Amino acid sequence: MIPDSSIHLWHEGTVTKNAQVFNRTVIEVTGKRYNLWYSYAPECASYISSTMDPQVIASIFFAMRYGNRLIAHGPVSKELLKNLDRFQDVWTFWQADLYNKVELVAEEELESAAPVNEQALVGFSGGVDSCFTVHRHLEGLCGRQTEEIGAALMIHGFDVPLEMADVFSTAAESAESLLSPRGVPLLRLASNWRQIMQDLQITWEDSHGAALIACLSLFQNGFGTGLLASTLEYHPLIPWGSSPLTDPLLSSDRFRIVHDGADYPRQRKLPILATWPKALDHLRVCWEHPELAGNCCECEKCIRTMLGFRVMGMPLPSAFPRDVSDRQIRHIEIVNSTAYHEFSLVLQEAIRAGIEEESWVRALTQAMERYGRKESPIVALRRRLKLRTRVKSLLGIAPA
C-alpha cells in the first residue's frame, strides 16, 4: 500500500436502456477506474436509495485491501459509517495479513432518520437457507423476531454469471412460481459487482455478505429492513463473508440488517422446510454448474444438500433428479473449511441417528479425512482432534 492511496466513489446517476434502469457509480482504485452498475425494472425506481450507503458497503473490501481512505462523493448515513468502523475491526482482526483498516470519508454525513416502513426485503436465491427464512417468517415461527416480508430480491451476476441471461430468467420464474402464491413479490436486480471484484482479486468467500447487503440496501426507500438468510450457525464463528457478527454491522438507522437462522444447522432446517413441499421441489443449490438452471447432483454443494435429506431420514425431493452414490461421496472435493464444517454436521447427525456404520457415512468420513491431509499438519491435527472429541461426546465416551 502506498501513502495516501485513497479510493474514490462517484455516483453517476441513472440511465434507462432496454427497459432497464442502470444505476451507475465510478470507482477509482489503484489508478484505475471501474464502472459499477446495478440494473432493475423502472417500476422499482421509487425504492432506490438516494444515499451512497449501498456503494460504500459494496466497496469496503477492496478499500481494506488496496487503500487507506475510502471517499464517497455524496451523502452517507453517519450510523453506517460508525458501524463500518467496527466491521473493519472484525475483518482486520480475522485477516490482518490481507486487510487494513481505512478511513471513511463522505462529502455529507446524514443524521439519524427513521426507516421508511417496517417491511423487510429478503435476499432470495431459491436455496435451502433463503427458502427456510421466507417460510418461517411467513408462518410466524420466529416469535417476537418475526419480520413482515414485503418482497424478495433475486440477483443476477452473483451465482449466475451475467452472460447467462436465459438461465437466470428460468431460475427467477421458478422462484416467482414459488413465492407468488404466498403473497411475496419477487424483485430482480443485476450487477457487474462480482466481475469487478474478480479483477481486483477480492474473494467471494470474504465479500459475498457485503455484496448481498449492498443490493438489499439499494432498495431502502421501499423497505426498512434487509433480511439475510444464514449460511452457518452461531458456532463456530469463523472468517466468512456473511455471519451473525458482521452482517448487522452493515446496518444504518435508515435500513436495518437482520441475519436470520443462525440457530439452525442447514440439515435441521429441512424438516421445517418440508411443511412447504413446493419449496423442496423448487430448491436450487448448485453453483458449480449454473448453466443447468437446476441441480447437477454432482458438485460438493449438491451432494452436501442431498446428504442433509438422507441423514434426516427424508426422501430426496424432485429438485434433485438422481441420488448420489457412495463412490461420489468418497471422492467429494471439499473446497474449504466452511464446507468441511457443513459435512461434519452431517456426520454428527449420522452418529446421533446410530447409522455411523452405513457405507455412505464411512465414505463421507474418508472424504473428510482426505481434506484434512491437505492442510498443514498442525491445522489438520487440531481439526481431527476436534472432530474426534465431538464424536466421542455424541457416543457418550468420556474424554481421556
The per-residue pLDDT for 378 is: 45
C-alpha–C-alpha distance, residues 205 and 97, integer Å: 16
Q: Are 286 and 306 in contact (CB under 8 A)?
A: no
Beta-bridge mates of residue 33: 28
End-to-end CA distance of the chain: 49
H/E segment holding residue 391? helix 377-395
Q: What is the pTM of this model?
A: 0.91
Residues (pLDDT < 70) of the chain are 1-4, 375-400
Could you tell me the strand order of the sheet in which 119-123 lies?
103-110, 69-77, 6-17, 20-29, 32-40, 186-191, 148-156, 119-123, 225-229, 256-260
The per-residue pLDDT for 220 is: 98
Which residue, 381, 375, 388, is CA-closest to 348?
388
Q: Which amino acid, residue 164?
A: M
C-alpha–C-alpha distance, residues 246 and 234, integer Å: 12
C-alpha–C-alpha distance, residues 210 and 247, integer Å: 8
The per-residue pLDDT for 3 is: 56
> Is the omega angle on the peptide bond into residue 290 within 30 degrees of 0, that is, cis?
no
The per-residue pLDDT for 4 is: 67
Reading the block at residue 221, the C-alpha cell is 426507500
The per-residue pLDDT for 294 is: 85
Q: Measured over all CA atoms, what is the biggest interatomic distance in the chain, rounded to whole angstroms?
A: 68
b/e per residue, 161-181, with b = 16+ CB within 10 A? eeebeebbebbbebbbebbee
- DSSP, collapsed to helix, strand or coil, labels residue 9 as strand
What are the Cα distances from residue 330, in Å, to 256, 287, 352, 394?
43, 20, 21, 23
Reading the block at residue 158, the C-alpha cell is 452473483
> What residue spans define the domains of the chain?
6-110, 119-260, 289-395
C-alpha–C-alpha distance, residues 269 and 80, integer Å: 32
Which residue, 98, 122, 209, is CA-closest to 158?
209
Per-residue pLDDT of 188-220, as tens digits, reads 999 999 999 999 999 999 999 999 999 999 999
The per-residue pLDDT for 292 is: 73
The per-residue pLDDT for 1 is: 42
Reading the block at residue 398, the C-alpha cell is 468420556
Among the four given CATH numbers 3.40.50.300, 3.40.50.620, 3.40.640.10, 3.10.110.10, the one describing domain 119-260: 3.40.50.620
